[in-house]
């Protein structure tokens, strides 16, 4: 997403009263025979069609690669962009002799590929040493346009209690080092090694937000603002709120569903801010517990109701959240699509549940890898 594209998207949003949404996805590169992660990003980049290279980037490790959709108002444009990019990147990976996986972390044991040769990444390794998480830690980031940073900070306060449910529905990494971890999102557990990973705190103002960033950098917890790994933050590059809680989704359908819900969550938050409705001041430690439960159980177990502290079936809480977001979904023309996509998610289960179902049938992680690769390509 270039600065010019982001500016044009902001103008579209202002003219229509709707919010733009864009998606970034990170993928794992693996050996097509063993399923182990391989340091093949440079080989794959060489095979990416020239007209798409502006939307494809290297990530932290040489076993990872990232795409970014242009921001848009229509879910159909997000679906089209992600579909084109995923297919092109899957083809590029195969021409390079590897396979592309939309998966939270590597399920098959093997050597940890090196970090991409980049000065900033070198400084991160020098500072944080053995925090590098396994063979590749792959997430999904959703950007939603906001009019100004002060509004963005208020939006962060309003969305923070509901992120555990998005965390649960995006779980897609139950296996690691050849074993079932017992978690639906092992990526989340590995990711939390980094000291700046946390639920977003309650923020008094944009100045408070900036002050915390300065203090975290001066404390040594972060090298720069790019290492602010809160589950929701203001983008350092674009006029957006960026939600970055989930594993990368296995399919385009899953990603489009999450993008729609994230936009509706931000739109609902903005409506609450404009109406003077206060954000729910959820206790930080309850949020930590809710996110842990989301990573552990995914959608197929229980979740924490942050309004009461009680544990309820995850699907019950997700249905309740979707109903809360219905006015914003209808405003953006997304209600019918979301209803259909939620039905598919209910039938097929989370990415973690799908992986476990394949493994239960065959007992082979290589079959899990093949099935994830099929979903990735679409």
pLDDT in tens, 44-78: 999 999 999 999 999 999 999 999 999 999 999 99
251: number of Cβ within 10 Å: 24
Distance in angstroms (rounded) separating the CA atoms of residues 37 and 175: 13
What is the model's pTM?
A: 0.96
Which residues, other chains included, contact 323 with Cβ-Cβ below 8 Å and sequence gap of 6+?
none
Q: How confident is the model at residue 129 (pLDDT cuts 50, 70, 90)?
A: confident
Per-residue pLDDT at 134: 81
Q: What is the dihedral of CA 125, 130, 132, 133, to 10 degrees?
A: -170
56: number of Cβ within 10 Å: 19
Which of 357, 193, 332, 336 is CA-nearest to residue 267? 332
Does residue 167 register a pLDDT over 80? yes
- In degrees rounded to 5, what are phi and psi of residue 222? -130, 150
Per-residue pLDDT at 164: 98
Beta bridge partners of 234: 241
Per-residue pLDDT at 135: 87
pLDDT in tens, 248-275: 999 999 999 999 999 999 999 999 999 9
Q: How confident is the model at residue 17 (pLDDT cuts 50, 70, 90)?
A: confident
pLDDT in tens, 80-126: 999 999 999 999 999 999 999 999 999 999 999 999 999 999 999 99
Contact 57, 237 (CB under 8 A): no
Distance in angstroms (rounded) separating the CA atoms of residues 55 and 326: 31
Contact 61, 136 (CB under 8 A): yes
Q: Which is it for the CA torsion 134, 136, 142, 143, positive or negative?
A: positive
Contact 183, 296 (CB under 8 A): yes
Does residue 13 register a pLDDT over 70? no
- 277 or 8: which carries more pLDDT confidence? 277
Q: To the nearest whole number, what is the mean pLDDT of the chain?
A: 95
Per-residue pLDDT at 131: 76
């Amino acid at each position: 997403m270039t600065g010019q594209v982001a500016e044009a998207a902001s103008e579209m949003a202002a003219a229509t009263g709707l919010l733009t949404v864009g998606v970034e996805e990170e993928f794992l590169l693996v050996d097509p025979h063993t399923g182990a992660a391989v340091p093949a990003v440079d080989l794959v980049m060489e095979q990416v069609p020239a007209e798409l290279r502006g939307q494809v980037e290297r990530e932290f490790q040489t076993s990872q690669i990232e795409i970014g959709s242009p921001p848009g108002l229509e879910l159909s444009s997000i679906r089209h962009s992600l579909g084109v990019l995923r297919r092109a990147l899957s083809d590029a990976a195969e021409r390079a002799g590897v396979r592309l996986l939309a998966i939270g972390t590597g399920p098959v044991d093997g050597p940890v590929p090196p970090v991409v040769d980049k000065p900033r990444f070198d400084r991160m390794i020098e500072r944080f040493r053995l925090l590098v998480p396994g063979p590749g830690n792959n997430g999904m980031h959703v950007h939603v346009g906001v009019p100004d940073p002060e509004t963005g900070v208020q939006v962060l306060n309003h969305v923070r209690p509901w992120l555990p449910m998005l965390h649960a529905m995006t779980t897609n990494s139950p296996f690691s080092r050849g074993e079932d971890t017992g978690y639906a999102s092992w990526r989340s557990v590995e990711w939390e090694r980094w000291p700046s990973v946390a639920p977003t705190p309650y923020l008094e103002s944009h100045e408070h937000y900036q002050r915390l960033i300065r203090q975290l950098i001066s404390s040594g917890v972060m090298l720069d603002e790019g290492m602010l790994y809160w589950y929701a933050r203001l983008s350092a590059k674009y006029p957006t709120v960026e939600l970055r809680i989930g594993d990368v989704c296995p399919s385009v359908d899953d990603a489009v569903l999450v993008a729609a819900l994230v936009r509706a969550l931000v739109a609902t938050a903005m409506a609450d801010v404009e109406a003077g409705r206060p954000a729910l001041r959820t206790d930080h430690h309850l949020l930590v517990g809710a996110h842990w439960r989301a990573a552990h159980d995914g959608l197929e177990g229980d979740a924490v109701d942050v309004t009461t502290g009680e544990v309820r079936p995850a699907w019950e809480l997700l249905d309740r959240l979707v109903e809360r977001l219905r006015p914003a979904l209808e405003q953006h023309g997304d209600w019918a699509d979301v209803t259909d996509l939620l039905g598919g998610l209910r039938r097929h289960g989370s990415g973690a549940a799908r992986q476990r179902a394949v493994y239960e049938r065959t007992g082979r992680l290589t079959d899990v890898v093949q099935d994830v690769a099929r979903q990735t390509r679409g």
